[in-house]
Structure 1
Amino acid sequence: MKVYSLSSRSPDQPCHFHGCLRHALRFARWLGFFPVQGLGEPRPEGIRFRIKSLYSIYVVATLLGQVMMSYFSVLLFFQTEVTLSTISNIIFYVTGLISAILLLKLAQQWPLLMTKAVETERGLTELSLDNKVVVRSSVLAYLVMALAMVEHILCTSFNIKFVMYCLQEAGVTTNVMENYVVHRMPYIFNYIPYSFFNAVFFEYLCLQSTFLWSFNDVLITCFSIYITAYFKTLNAVIATNAKKDKDTIPWSILRVHYSNLVKLVKEIDDNISSLILLSLFTDLFYICLQLFNSLHRNHVSFKYCDETQTNQALSSPFYLLYYLYSFVFLVLRALMLSLFASNVHCAALEPVYSVYDVPSSVYDNEVRRFQLQLHYTEVGLSGKFFYVTRNMILKVVGTIITYEIVLLQYSVTPNSYYNVSTTVATVVDNVTNLYGKT
């Protein structure tokens, strides 16, 4: 494995790329998804990706565990009726497995990407990034992951209380932990026997998948903060330069700075565009799923609870607290990802207004070339097939609203294990009646 060295970088020159991303990536390494050495150091000289390391062994074990979780969720899907519960399990674990593979690929490319970022920063001689950007990125990473842990604790606490309540009502004195784990993960314990080791092992794998669900949004947001900060700094220099009758900084240098930032954005986007697509898809799916469950009070039933007892549990204040927190956190996290990622596109377009206001006394071929470059260059983070822009966000919000309006038009009987095939047939019949088509 080729190892890229950063020893050529000046020791007194900080690397903001490393500073903005290292705290978020340390979370991934702790949970077994990013086997890169040197993330704990304030400077990037020790960044290495090595196959023969304890981190890599940890990642391989994690990938095998995620493959196992995905396999069991798919197996349950094909051996039972099609329900929203089985579909959501597949999406949760399969997207988690894909995320783990994409993070491993990113880790392999990380030393090279770090080297290119260092070279770009070193070439931006007229720009100086505020260290507050690094602090802001690090605080956001710690804050969002702490909130994600709170959400996971609330979810676990509610399910334990739900199982304990049902056992008490049924007069059953069997082990609470066993019933909780079997209730939470039927896709596992329908096929393997319960044991304490299996319970702890698969609960940890579930925690890893839950971590990835939030981490992808945090990672993309940290990338966006870093890129946007550099563009905003360049935009301020360009705006100041355009207001003067005499060039303070040659326009050729500013144009080269812009070009270097564009190249860095494209390099970063090549490495994370698949993660962006995956994150936007999972966020959209789970927002729609949460809204659907809120309209139909849908929850996976427990064998010791009848429908009345399940509805009583869903009416409890603790469930309301968990559900509201989970839904608000999911929406805010999705908005955070979308808005910060779209800021890259907006910040990259902003110099065009200043360049077109350049006084005629300093207007030359370099300014003209800069205008053409700004006009014909599309810059931004993408989800493989589209750029993340504010117009795209509005379309997604419109899609969610349309989805909910359609759901509100149909009266569906609540079912603890909602059958998708029945829903589709009901919707088709109603649409046929609505439009008078046969």
Structure 2
Amino acid sequence: MGLTMKVYGLSSRSPDEPCHFHGCLRHALRFARWMGFFPVQGLGEASPEGIRFKIKSLYSIYVIATFGGQVVMSYFSVMLFFQSEVTNIIFYGTGLISAILLLKLSQQWPALMTKAVETERSLTELTLDNKVVVRSNVLAYLFMALAMVEHILCTSFNIKFVMYCLQEAGITNNVMENYVEHRMPYIFNYIPYSFFSALFFEYLCLQSTFLWSFNDILIACISIYITAYFKTLNAVIATNSKKDKDAIPWSILRLHYSNLVKLVKEIDDNISSLILLSFFTDLFYICLQLFNSLHRNHVSFKYCDETQTNQALSSPFYLLYYLYSFVFIVLRALMLSLFASNVHCAALEPVYSVYDVPSTVYDNEVRRFQLQLHYTEVGLSGKFFYVTRNMILKYSVTPNPYYNVSTTLAIIVDNGRRCFKGIRDY
């Protein structure tokens, strides 16, 4: 028998009471399922009743095949690593780790969905605006579209680079063969080239590229959902703190806050490894893009000498790809950092309203709430750190002149000047 996990206890849920957690995440997770990384059924439905993880299913077969492909790509990249190429092993190694973490998350997803539904039902005094779901889904579609544009620009530049070196006027079979061998020497140094093998490994590369952006999008959508509930609760608490009569009992508001904190802890236990991996990959590729641009580094091609390579790296195609890719990576990293840190900020906000409670209604429940807000650490974490605004900004105020915002901006401006000079010379 196949292992099946379902969401139980949802039969009494009314269609007028949508699960916002399911609504905010299901579109993003469908992207992952289409690419072979999240074998959970029921994501296409508006309600969470059909959410289940089933071993014996077409989705699971697809995931197993995908996992095997990522293992193969990681293996070949390790082979190239011993020939002094580290970028590919980071790219495919982190992709393989992401695939493992997403498979683990998919196993826990029905239980996590059950916890989210129970929490939403317990929040009797809160009503979440459906615009939150729309905002989360728009973000997912937008950034996946931007990621696809980045991949297309990268592919286009490398094809143009090969055409320039081969002195070909159009895209021919010779150009495509050399393009594939140029992009994936860690594969075709060990196996013979064929059209079907090139197509297969190109798709595996696309899957890894998808994971490169998807983790950030998933964490951002989860952060939007959690932050929205905390902000709704904060508005209710702020209104309640100004009332002497007809106020909501503080024991209920404190319980609502406690339930949200428990949900954040449950979610964080499942995605903290993904957060750590996302921060690592974002920082690595930002530094790599800056280094490669400043030093005009590019993977060498056997039909290109140094002069031809330098001319290609001064072309408008490279400038367009580099600027778009760098801005996209920085924008994605900022999105991840700011949305994730908003969870911590929103969880701290009630403290100001609770300390403004009139003395006429001040009681032990208010006192307990104050202590809870003071001593409870709430936020998403990357295993070893909480994602807060202080954590994000601390390096921008360090006295070390080699690690601050002004130095980084100066590098970017100087690099842009060199790129535009290259276009003029080109």
Check whether TM > 0.5.
yes
Return the offset for 1:294.
Answer: 1.7
- Partner residue in 1 for 2:290: 291
Return the offset for 1:268.
Answer: 0.2
RMSD: 1.9
Tell me which amino acid in the other structure corresponds to 1:402.
Y
Tell me which amino acid in the other structure corresponds to 1:386.
F
Tell me which amino acid in the other structure corresponds to 1:28.
A
Tell me which amino acid in the other structure corresponds to 2:7.
S
Give the whole-Å Cα distance in 2 for the aligned partners of 1:10 and 1:98.
36
Please say if 1:33 is aligned against 2:54: no
Q: Is the 8 A contact 1:14 1:43 kept in 2?
A: yes
Please say if 1:49 is aligned against 2:53: yes
Q: How does 1:336-375 map to 2 (within 5 A)?
A: 336-375=335-374
Q: Is the 8 A contact 1:74 1:90 kept in 2?
A: yes
Q: Is the 8 A contact 2:395 2:403 kept in 1?
A: no
* 1:9–1:20 distance in 2 versus 1, CA, 3 Å: farther
Please say if 1:3 is aligned against 2:5: yes
- Partner residue in 2 for 1:432: none
Return the offset for 1:11.
Answer: 2.4
Q: How does 1:232-381 map to 2 (within 5 A)?
A: 232-381=231-380
Q: How does 1:113-262 map to 2 (within 5 A)?
A: 113-168=112-167, 175-262=174-261
Give the whole-Å Cα distance in 2 for the aligned partners of 1:117 and 1:181.
45
Give the whole-Å Cα distance in 2 for the aligned partners of 1:335 and 1:108.
29
Return the offset for 1:196.
Answer: 0.7
Return the offset for 1:403.
Answer: 5.4
Q: Is the 8 A contact 1:19 1:134 kept in 2?
A: yes
Tell me which amino acid in the other structure corresponds to 2:59.
Y
- Partner residue in 2 for 1:65: 69
Give the whole-Å Cα distance in 1 for the aligned partners of 2:102 and 2:378.
23
SS at match of 1:402: coil
SS at match of 1:326: helix
Return the offset for 1:402.
Answer: 2.9
Give the whole-Å Cα distance in 2 for the aligned partners of 1:359 and 1:206.
61
Q: Is the 8 A contact 2:4 2:52 kept in 1?
A: no
Percent identity between the aligned chains? 86
Q: 5+ unaligned residues in a row in structure 1: which ranges?
A: 409-438
**Larger relative CO (CA 8 A, sep 6+): 1 or 2?**
1
Return the offset for 1:125.
Answer: 0.2
Q: Deviations over 1:282-326 (max 9, x none)?
A: 000000111111211111111111111111111111110111000
Moved more, 69-78 or 219-228: 69-78
Return the offset for 1:247.
Answer: 4.9
Q: How many residues align?
A: 402
* 1:164–1:397 distance in 2 versus 1, CA, 3 Å: farther
Q: Is the 8 A contact 1:287 1:327 kept in 2?
A: yes
Give the whole-Å Cα distance in 1 for the aligned partners of 2:395 and 2:290.
15
Return the offset for 1:246.
Answer: 2.5
Return the offset for 1:8.
Answer: 3.1
- Partner residue in 2 for 1:19: 23
Q: Deviations over 1:84-125 (max 9, x none)?
A: xx2111110000000000000000000000000000000000
Q: Deviations over 1:183-233 (max 9, x none)?
A: 001111111111111100000000000000000000000000000000000
- Partner residue in 1 for 2:415: none
Q: Is the 8 A contact 2:341 2:380 kept in 1?
A: yes
Superposition TM-score, scaled by structure 2 size: 0.91
Superposition TM-score, scaled by structure 1 size: 0.89
Return the offset for 1:244.
Answer: 1.4
SS at match of 1:49: strand
Please say if 1:75 is aligned against 2:74: no
Q: Is the 8 A contact 2:396 2:403 kept in 1?
A: no
SS at match of 1:3: strand
Give the whole-Å Cα distance in 2 for the aligned partners of 1:300 and 1:398.
36
Q: Is the 8 A contact 2:4 2:55 kept in 1?
A: no
Tell me which amino acid in the other structure corresponds to 2:11.
S
- Partner residue in 2 for 1:428: none
Return the offset for 1:4.
Answer: 2.4
Q: Is the 8 A contact 1:247 1:362 kept in 2?
A: no
Q: Is the 8 A contact 1:348 1:379 kept in 2?
A: yes
Return the offset for 1:248.
Answer: 1.4
Tell me which amino acid in the other structure corresponds to 2:328.
F
Give the whole-Å Cα distance in 1 for the aligned partners of 2:279 and 2:384.
12
- Partner residue in 1 for 2:422: none
* 1:180–1:9 distance in 2 versus 1, CA, 3 Å: farther
SS at match of 2:5: coil
* 1:55–1:2 distance in 2 versus 1, CA, 3 Å: closer
Return the offset for 1:243.
Answer: 1.1
Return the offset for 1:397.
Answer: 5.2
Give the whole-Å Cα distance in 1 for the aligned partners of 2:12 and 2:166.
63
* 1:70–1:403 distance in 2 versus 1, CA, 3 Å: farther
Tell me which amino acid in the other structure corresponds to 1:201.
F
- Partner residue in 1 for 2:402: 402
- Partner residue in 1 for 2:418: none
Give the whole-Å Cα distance in 1 for the aligned partners of 2:178 and 2:29.
35
* 1:10–1:357 distance in 2 versus 1, CA, 3 Å: same
Tell me which amino acid in the other structure corresponds to 2:79.
L
Q: Is the 8 A contact 2:7 2:113 kept in 1?
A: no
Tell me which amino acid in the other structure corresponds to 1:237.
V
